[in-house]
Structure 1
Amino acid sequence: MSTLKPAALARSEARPVVPFTSYDVGWIVLCIGMAIGSGIVFMPVQVGLKGLWVFLAAITLSYPAVYHLQNLFLRTLMQSEVCEDYAGAISHYLGKNWGIALALVYFVMLFGAIVTYATSITYDSASYLQTFHVTDHPLSGNGWYSLALIAVLVAISAQGERLLFKVAGPMVGVKFTIIVAMAVVMVPHWNIQNILRPLDVGNFMRDVVLTLPFALFSILYVQILNPMNIAYRKLESDPRVAAYRIVRANRIAYAVLVVSVLFFACSFAFTISQADARYALEHNVSALAIVARVMPGVWVKAMSVMLDMFAILSAFFGIYLGFHEAVRGILLNVLGRFVRREAMHKSVVNIGVAVAITAMLCIWVSANFSTMLILQITGPIYGITTCLVPCYLIWRVPSLRNLRGWPVWFVSFYGLLLIVSPLFKLFE
């Protein structure tokens, strides 16, 4: 396994141009697909509830923070000598006990994301089937429907990234095109009154902090960065080339997302009223499901359905790679205390993890927890795992001293805001 020393990482930044291949495109597409998921389809609901100015303040804080936290998170993993799973990487820096403890926090973070997508897929698809008169009643309450749907998605996701490039790639391409098209199509339906609501100065900071998780999740793809790091380092024998390709893919995906998501979100903010946003919150559906109901035109409805389902499906495929790796890492960390890793059958472990994930998701979906609430309460977990843990490693581990600088302080501050964000829900 190739390892990346700090000096090698620094030199990788100045390497000559490395060929840009379809494999790089595949990972960039998966990163974009991971980000354009529940965050982007539920963020307009929060914008409609809180107002455009709150949203703009939240993204002014969040979007620079997202770049730096993902960059630091990725680089701490890239410089680890262990490159099999998150638990192993942390164990390399801090020992097995810290490895399992932080791996559990990492698991909770990814669990919150994957159950959000599983719930959205089940309930939004059932809502669309009813809206377009395919069914008389929503199938979301049918346990067999959710089981069949989730089992198929897990079976596809478990095949690995190269199959997902083929399956999710076209979806991401279609939904990215639709994002731009819908943002343009909604322009004639803009209503200035939707953003000219009186500004609640007294609750402005409260609303900004409450909106941080939504702004974060609108372009976040940190969940897929470790699988990408593992894949590139297994592919490339030269750690400098692997580092260059990882960093390049990360930067391209981020730049594309910022431009497209901002245009899309602002267009929605001008289109969806506060009443529409409240309806979406009460019925646990995304903003796109609302657009299919309230905006005229068959093409608008068709585009909203395709974007909603493709966004959530491709994000599910992306998050599964990270979630499977997290569950597998915890399992191997525990079993490794009693059995040598060489004695474990990888295929049996992988099948067992896939079955366990399917069961967990079906149980969660049947409980029908609020997706909007999940996005808010998982903010602290992301604050810990993606902000504070990498910053702690950078200051604690001598081999990571090359990463020290002002971004570490900025990401730490943003992580603390994410941690306290659910407390502001008490003041609504």
Structure 2
Amino acid sequence: MNEQAPSVEQRFAESTPATLGNWARHDTTWMLGLFGTAIGAGTLFLPINAGLGGFWPLLVLAVLAFPMTYFAHRGLTRFVLSGRTGGDITEVVKEHFGSTAGTSITVLYFFAIFPILLIYSVALTNTVSSFIEHQLHLQPPPRAMLSFVLILGLLAIVRCGEQATVKVMSLLVYPFIVALALLGLYLVPHWTGGILDSATQVPPASAFLHTLWLAIPVMVFSFNHSPIISAFAVDQKRRYGDHADERSGQILRRAHLLMVVMVLFFVFSCVLTLSSAQLAEAKAQNLSILSYLANHFSNPTIAFAAPLIAFVAIAKSFLGHYIGASEGLKGIIAKTGARPGAKALDRVVAGLMLVVCWIVATLNPSILGMIESLGGPILAVLLFLMPMYAIRRVPSMRKYSGAASNVFVVVVGLVALTSVVYGLLG
């Protein structure tokens, strides 16, 4: 197996940035890689979580979905691009905010992403084990063995290098998009109005704003792909140099348009099929929308396809989050003063990730969900607020100041942050 690619700093220094030409294959690969990181198994719960608030809040969320996603991730991309050396987010934070702040943010960055990786490790094991038992009617192997094989298989892809990982993610996106589209179209003849029953009753302003306040984080984190943004920005700077901001903006716009259109079509198709009471029932049973639809229609095809779709969704999101988590862990190791070679560091990080993910996937501790929730406020700060703060404080980013979109990002970030904290305290 090939060793992982050289460090981002080496790649930036050794290559000559290209001029901005026509859209290329690697741009499409990154577009689909961003989609793959953002749209994971959580998408299968989004119709339930977003639809329970009623028609009008969902409509507002649908309108806000693209600008919330695009402007926030563009800001984080620009932040990484603003570094002088072409380094990743951990290096750029240190460059702009100093060593102490850089260390703190690097640690927070890692602990915001790593629990999500652990969640995916558990979910992957559960999904495959359930598929073997209920769809194939076979005895699943011991959980420890199954989780080890699954995680090792995904890490084998990662060890082939960043570009190979993003390529695999982009390939996994195709069947997922087709599955979402077919499921949405399958439901069209079964549309009964569903959530439209609540459209005739416009809630009072206070109740509407409260529902919207609590629902915004659901939409924000459903399209979140910040863990892979650093690697994305580094690669854009290596390829395009001074044109990186322009090309990365094009890639982000297309990726976000694709994910918003596909996911919202799927969401609205589901909520137009099921009533509010049925969505509440699915929520109470802790079922994904596919599992509930399979039971609702007594459709064995959906029942068989559901775990396969979930597997693809989890696998591609795992790969994207691994890129971010490994980046954070490498940054933490670097802050300790250790200076292993690039290949040795890759092996150490991969080994640590394998062991921890395997143990957690085997044990499935109940505290994992709480740890993931604690990462929500950190992600909100890093994705929405830190880049906007940098625009005010960092000279190389002041050229982006004065845009109305900056105010929009700060407002959405504060809404998401306060809502997540309220949910934790409540």
Asked if 2 retains the 8 angstrom alpha-carbon contact of 1:195 and 1:270, the reply is yes
Match of 2:74 among 71, 74, 85: 71
Aligned match for 2:343, one of 339, 342, 347: 347
Report the counterpart of residue 9 of structure 1 in structure 2: none
Map 1:134-173 to 2 at 5 A.
Answer: 134-135=137-138, 142-173=143-174
Aligned to 1:8: none
Structure 1-normalised TM-score? Answer: 0.85
Measured in 1, the distance between the counterparts of 2:310 and 2:237 equals: 33
Q: Name the count of aligned residue pairs.
A: 409
Asked if 1:255 corresponds to 2:257, the answer is: yes
- 1:289-338 per-position Cα deviation (integer Å, ceiling 9, x unaligned): 33333334344344433332212211111221121111111211222xxx
Task: Let me know the Cα RMSD of the aligned residues.
Answer: 3.1
Is 1:317 the counterpart of 2:319? The answer is: yes
Distance 1:76 1:2 in 2: 20
Which residue number in structure 1 is paired with residue 5 of structure 2?
none
CA distance in 2, matches of 1:263, 1:309: 21
> What CA distance in whole angstroms lies between the structure 2 residues aligned with 1:152 and 1:361?
13
Partner Cα distance (1:188, 1:317) in 2: 36
1:109–1:277 CA distance, 2 compared to 1 (3 A): farther
How far apart, CA to CA, are the structure 1 residues paired with 2:212 and 2:159?
A: 38
Q: TM-score, normalised by structure 2?
A: 0.85
1:16 Cα deviation from its structure 2 partner: 8.3
Alignment partner for residue 52 of structure 1, among 46, 52, 55?
55
Distance in 1 of aligned mates of 2:366 and 2:245: 40
CA drift at 1:78: 0.6
**Number of the residue aligned with 2:271:** 269
Q: 2:223 aligns with which of 199, 219, 223?
A: 219
Give distance in 2, aligned partners of 1:361 and 1:102: 23
Look up the match of 1:132: 135
How far the C-alpha of 1:43 sits from its partner, in A, is: 1.1
CA contact (8 A) 1:190 1:271 kept: yes
Task: Show the 5 A alignment for 1:390-401.
Answer: 390-401=387-398
Question: 1:213–1:124: structure 2 CA closer, same or farther, 3 Å change rule?
Answer: farther
Structure 2: gaps (5+ residues) = 1-8
Alpha-carbon shift at residue 277 of structure 1 (Å): 4.2
- 1:39 and 1:311, CA in 2 relative to 1: closer, same or farther beyond 3 A? same
When structure 1 is superposed on structure 2, of 109-118 and 374-383 the one drifting more is: 374-383
Work out the CA distance in 1 between the residues paired with 2:59 and 2:400: 29
Matches within 5 A, 1:205-244: 205-234=209-238, 236=239, 239-244=241-246
Partner in structure 1 of residue 355 of structure 2: 359
Give distance in 2, aligned partners of 1:264 and 1:193.
Answer: 14
Name the % identity.
25
Match of 1:7 in 2: none
Residue 150 of structure 1, CA deviation: 2.0
Q: Which deviates further from its counterpart, 166-175 or 291-300?
A: 291-300
> Is it true that 1:300 corresponds to 2:302 in the alignment?
yes
Separation in 1 of the partners of 2:20 and 2:237? Answer: 18
Deviations 1:402-425 (A, max 9, x none): 011222222111111111113443
Q: How many angstroms apart in 1 are the aligned matches of 2:196 and 2:129?
A: 31
Q: Gapped runs of 5+ residues in structure 1? A: 5-11
Provide the C-alpha distance between the structure 2 equivalents of 1:284 and 1:119, rounded to a whole number of angstroms. 16
Pair 1:421–1:158, CA change in 2 (3 A): farther
Letter of the 1:89 counterpart? V
Q: How far apart are the structure 2 equivalents of 1:371 and 1:301?
A: 27
Q: Is 1:123 aligned to residue 101 of structure 2?
A: no
Of 58-67 and 174-183, the range deviating more from structure 2: 58-67
How many angstroms apart in 2 are the aligned matches of 1:3 and 1:162? 12
The worse-fitting range, judged by mean Cα deviation, of 67-76 and 82-91 is 82-91
Contact 1:124 1:289 in 2 (8 A): no
Structure 1: how far apart are the matches of 2:109 and 2:212?
Answer: 25
